[in-house]
Chain A
Amino acid sequence: MNEREILQALTQVFHDVFDDDDIVLISETTADDIDGWDSQTHVLLIVAAEQRFGIKFRTAELESLKNVGHFAQLIQTKLGGR
């Protein structure tokens, strides 16, 4: 998956978790930009992304997620060549 495809799939994850099809993600999007993105929902996002991409985040990685771009990058690294 390339960066664009990952962002697209990640957008779908956000739509599902927030039940809101109007969310548009860009690399710079942070929790402050999306209504209801609190620590509870953050866990749900992580878990939904793990399910969607078939990956697992390490405990340490969960602390370092700064924005959507960083999230997508981490997913791409984990997917490797897939």
Chain B
Amino acid sequence: MQQLSWLPAHPDLSGAIGQAKRIDDPLPRLHEAARLATFQRDFTLTARLDKLVAAGIEQHTAAARLTPLRVALLSSHTVDHLLPAIRVAGLQRRLALSLHVAPYGMYRQALLADDPALNAFAPQLVLLALDAHDAPLQLPLQAGQAEVDAAVAERVDELRLLWRRARERYAAQVVQQTLVPVAPPLFGSYEALVPASPRAVIERLNAAIRAAAREDGVLLLDLVWHAAAYGDGLAEPVRWHQAKQLVSPTLAPLYGEHLARIAAATAGLSRKCLVLDLDNTLWGGVIGDDGIDGIQLGQGSPSGEAFLAFQRYAAQLARRGVILAVCSKNDLHVAEAAFAHPEMALKRSDIAAFVANWEDKAGNLRRIASMLDIGLDSLVFVDDNPAERDIVRRELPEVAVPELPDDVANYPARIAAAGYFEAVSFTSDDAERGRSYALNAERKAAQSQATDMDGYLRGLQMVLRVNRIGAAELARTTQLINKTNQFNLTTRRYTEAEVERMASNPQAIALALRLEDKFGDNGLISVVLARPDAALGADELLIDSWLMSCRVLGRQVEAAVLEVMAEAAAAAGWRALVGEYRPSERNGMVAEHYPRLGFEQRPTAANAPADASFWRYELASRASINHHIQVQA
């Protein structure tokens, strides 16, 4: 069976790896390995790619613009054969993963007995890779449901203790693998009707694990739900008896994908936007030639229904916060008019960026990224035409371009299998995101009508709602911290536990800010974390993180936020705020943020990187700040 089916095939990957081995300079070798990792690869080729980067990745993480992340694998089954594939899947997502494996079967001891090796490693992400062989619940087959539930609850409590340890000791994000049933059924279809049958017990346990994970902010590596994709490669008896492998080596690339996706999502590296071609992708036929009555879409023909099903899938993705865009070779008015088709599941208003013209698609994808203020590496481009896919891959390697099956009926499953939009949370803001992009378009229109900027901003009737970060805001703020790249002064990434720890420091000022205007609620749009720092003066409060969604750029929100922060800091007796700017590849837009707000440059703190700059804002002598936003604390 073909795994990683969304990746394009390389004509000779083995040869290309051999060539790459001869590149002496580790940095270009690393780049070449990352490029080759985006092709179809089996487990041996994947392991060879891993060897290609093994020497050099640590020293060149920064130069290669990779995000480093330390992941501990605590497992009840052998995972050593999966490590190369996990690292390569990480590399494909611009992650430099360092992996630590606790001795086989010692996951409890590693967490409970303060394993010095694990302490020294200081994981940021802890995977509990457990399986159904491990510590089976000892229940007689005739046990009733109540007895099963008690045993399940006890087991889940034990797991929650481990989760809590990992969070408290390392402030790590915990990922729990669900337990793949390994024993064949005893009763056939009757199995689930016997409460203590092996399958029924495991199902109950997984359900309880999922519910507990939801409560505790633990993420799932849901192998049980992925099991179909692994086919026979999951829990093959011979591999278990031979080497205690739950996942066959042949399926290592797929497992690596599943774990690296979660790791990437915690680091804010999931994709954000689905860019769709139109003709023969969203409907059958060519709108410019066939006209609105001639295209195949909707009930009445099998292929019309298949296109409709794909549209519905895209619309559903939009409901969960994926931004939709269109990139099509068409006349704009013809393409837009097609959305008046009565069977269209996607509405014109679902599309946040609509580009239809006769220019090349690579250029148009660049335009879409800049219209939406997101990076090219946030885009997924879906086009039925293999030639267009090929060109975009070559011109814009940052854009993900899935290989697609011949039949549009299989598009939704393929996009889902590729896992571009892995999430670490889901909030009502996500559900509203599509609407908020549409509203933004309206605001832009309003702006072009308003004769002066002040009049426009006043007319927006903006209200900034200020909340100290507490339990209610924790998931959303952490999500924003980890996905904001452009308006982000320091690009520090934090887990929920770390944010919680910082926010609960009584000396810190940790704020979640929401903005409403006459068009609606923009949701959570900005986060600031300010705290004392040993490297600064005792009367200075460091702005550790200041980030803002680009949706509200140019609306003086940052001025209002400074006002709020300055008032809070002055009231707490601080003499000055100190802003830090750490340049990244993506945050050039805030290079002048602090001087613009009236901060004066001060010497760089002792422990800071050389390219960081520090800025001081005197609280006693601060001038009044000009903006058109009503603040509600």
A residues apposed to B, CB below 8 Å: 16-17, 19, 21, 39-40, 43-44, 46-48, 51, 57-59, 62
Write the nearest CB–CB distance from B35 to chain A, whole angstroms. 18
The yes or no answer to B238 lying at the interface (CB within 8 A) is yes
Write the nearest CB–CB distance from B119 to chain A, whole angstroms. 26
Write the nearest CB–CB distance from B32 to chain A, whole angstroms. 15
Segment touching A, from B242-250, B406-414, B426-434: B242-250
**What residues of chain B lie closer than 8 Å to A17, measured between beta carbons?**
44, 47
B residues apposed to A, CB below 8 Å: 14, 18, 42-45, 47-48, 51, 80-81, 237-239, 241-243, 245, 248-250
Since A48-B249, A58-B238, A62-B238 are in contact, a sample of 7 more A-B pairs with Cβ atoms closer than 8 Å, ordered by chain A residue number, is A21-B18, A39-B243, A40-B243, A47-B43, A47-B250, A48-B44, A51-B42
User: Which of A19, A39, A57, A59 has the most chain B CB atoms closer than 10 A to its own CB?
Assistant: A19
Contact B242 A62 (CB under 8 A): yes
Write the nearest CB–CB distance from B356 to chain A, whole angstroms. 45
- 20 A-B residue pairings within 8 Å (CB atoms): A16-B14, A16-B45, A16-B48, A19-B47, A43-B239, A43-B243, A43-B245, A43-B249, A47-B43, A47-B239, A47-B248, A47-B249, A48-B44, A48-B249, A51-B42, A57-B238, A59-B237, A59-B238, A59-B242, A62-B238
Contact B81 A44 (CB under 8 A): yes
User: Which of B44, B81, B242 has the most chain A CB atoms closer than 10 A to its own CB?
Assistant: B44
Contact B248 A19 (CB under 8 A): no
3 A-B pairs closest in CB distance: A16-B44, A47-B249, A19-B48
Give Cα distance in the complex from A44 to B237, angstroms. 16
**What residues of chain A lie closer than 8 Å to B81, measured between beta carbons?**
40, 43-44
**What residues of chain B lie closer than 8 Å to A44, measured between beta carbons?**
43-44, 47, 81, 249
Write the nearest CB–CB distance from B332 to chain A, whole angstroms. 50
Give Cα distance in the complex from A17 to B242, angstroms. 18
**What residues of chain B lie closer than 8 Å to A59, measured between beta carbons?**
237-238, 241-242
Give Cα distance in the complex from A51 to B242, angstroms. 17
Interface residues of A, dominant DSSP:
helix
**What residues of chain A lie closer than 8 Å to B237, measured between beta carbons?**
59
Write the nearest CB–CB distance from A8 to chain B, whole angstroms. 16
**What residues of chain A lie closer than 8 Å to B18, measured between beta carbons?**
21
Write the nearest CB–CB distance from A21 to chain B, whole angstroms. 7
**What residues of chain A lie closer than 8 Å to B42, measured between beta carbons?**
51
**What residues of chain B lie closer than 8 Å to A57, measured between beta carbons?**
238
Give Cα distance in the complex from A19 to B48, angstroms. 6
**What residues of chain B lie closer than 8 Å to A40, measured between beta carbons?**
80-81, 243
Write the nearest CB–CB distance from A10 to chain B, whole angstroms. 13
Q: Kindly report which residue of chain A lies nearest to residue B21, judged by CB atoms.
A: A19
**What residues of chain B lie closer than 8 Å to A48, measured between beta carbons?**
43-44, 249
Give Cα distance in the complex from A50 to B242, angstroms. 15
Write the nearest CB–CB distance from B241 to chain A, whole angstroms. 6
Give Cα distance in the complex from A48 to B14, angstroms. 14
Write the nearest CB–CB distance from B616 to chain A, whole angstroms. 54
Q: Which of B44, B47, B51, B242 contacts A43 (CB 8 A)?
A: B242
**What residues of chain B lie closer than 8 Å to A51, measured between beta carbons?**
42, 250
Write the nearest CB–CB distance from A55 to chain B, whole angstroms. 13
Give Cα distance in the complex from A16 to B44, angstroms. 6
Write the nearest CB–CB distance from B244 to chain A, whole angstroms. 10
Give Cα distance in the complex from A16 to B379, angstroms. 34
Give Cα distance in the complex from A57 to B241, angstroms. 13
Contact B51 A19 (CB under 8 A): yes
**What residues of chain B lie closer than 8 Å to A21, measured between beta carbons?**
18
**What residues of chain B lie closer than 8 Å to A46, measured between beta carbons?**
242
Give Cα distance in the complex from A57 to B238, angstroms. 9
Give Cα distance in the complex from A59 to B243, angstroms. 11
**What residues of chain A lie closer than 8 Å to B238, measured between beta carbons?**
57-59, 62
Write the nearest CB–CB distance from A47 to chain B, whole angstroms. 5
Write the nearest CB–CB distance from B293 to chain A, whole angstroms. 51
User: Which of A39, A43, A47 has the most chain B CB atoms closer than 10 A to its own CB?
Assistant: A47
**What residues of chain A lie closer than 8 Å to B14, measured between beta carbons?**
16
Q: Kindly report which residue of chain A lies nearest to residue B18, judged by CB atoms.
A: A21
Q: Kindly report which residue of chain A lies nearest to residue B44, judged by CB atoms.
A: A16
Write the nearest CB–CB distance from A69 to chain B, whole angstroms. 22
Give Cα distance in the complex from A51 to B48, angstroms. 17
Write the nearest CB–CB distance from B179 to chain A, whole angstroms. 23
Give Cα distance in the complex from A14 to B5, angstroms. 26
Q: Kindly report which residue of chain B lies nearest to residue A21, judged by CB atoms.
A: B18
Give Cα distance in the complex from A19 to B42, angstroms. 14
Give Cα distance in the complex from A70 to B378, angstroms. 52
Q: Kindly report which residue of chain B lies nearest to residue A52, judged by CB atoms.
A: B44
Give Cα distance in the complex from A19 to B80, angstroms. 17
**What residues of chain A lie closer than 8 Å to B44, measured between beta carbons?**
16-17, 44, 48
Write the nearest CB–CB distance from A66 to chain B, whole angstroms. 17
Q: Kindly report which residue of chain A lies nearest to residue B14, judged by CB atoms.
A: A16
Give Cα distance in the complex from A63 to B437, angstroms. 62
**What residues of chain A lie closer than 8 Å to B239, measured between beta carbons?**
43, 47
**What residues of chain A lie closer than 8 Å to B250, measured between beta carbons?**
47, 51
Write the nearest CB–CB distance from B57 to chain A, whole angstroms. 16
User: Which of B18, B42, B243 has the most chain A CB atoms closer than 10 A to its own CB?
Assistant: B243
Q: Kindly report which residue of chain B lies nearest to residue A16, judged by CB atoms.
A: B44
Give Cα distance in the complex from A62 to B236, angstroms. 15
Give Cα distance in the complex from A17 to B238, angstroms. 20
Give Cα distance in the complex from A44 to B243, angstroms. 11
Give Cα distance in the complex from A6 to B241, angstroms. 27
**What residues of chain B lie closer than 8 Å to A16, measured between beta carbons?**
14, 44-45, 48
Give Cα distance in the complex from A32 to B614, angstroms. 59
Give Cα distance in the complex from A82 to B81, angstroms. 31
Give Cα distance in the complex from A66 to B323, angstroms. 58
Write the nearest CB–CB distance from A20 to chain B, whole angstroms. 10
Give Cα distance in the complex from A58 to B42, angstroms. 22
Give Cα distance in the complex from A17 to B45, angstroms. 8
Give Cα distance in the complex from A59 to B51, angstroms. 30
Write the nearest CB–CB distance from A38 to chain B, whole angstroms. 10
Q: Kindly report which residue of chain B lies nearest to residue A17, judged by CB atoms.
A: B44
**What residues of chain A lie closer than 8 Å to B243, measured between beta carbons?**
39-40, 43
Q: Kindly report which residue of chain B lies nearest to residue A39, judged by CB atoms.
A: B243
Give Cα distance in the complex from A19 to B44, angstroms. 9
Give Cα distance in the complex from A59 to B241, angstroms. 8
Q: Kindly report which residue of chain A lies nearest to residue B241, judged by CB atoms.
A: A59
**What residues of chain A lie closer than 8 Å to B248, measured between beta carbons?**
47
Q: Kindly report which residue of chain A lies nearest to residue B80, judged by CB atoms.
A: A40
**What residues of chain B lie closer than 8 Å to A39, measured between beta carbons?**
243
Give Cα distance in the complex from A29 to B242, angstroms. 22
Write the nearest CB–CB distance from A52 to chain B, whole angstroms. 10
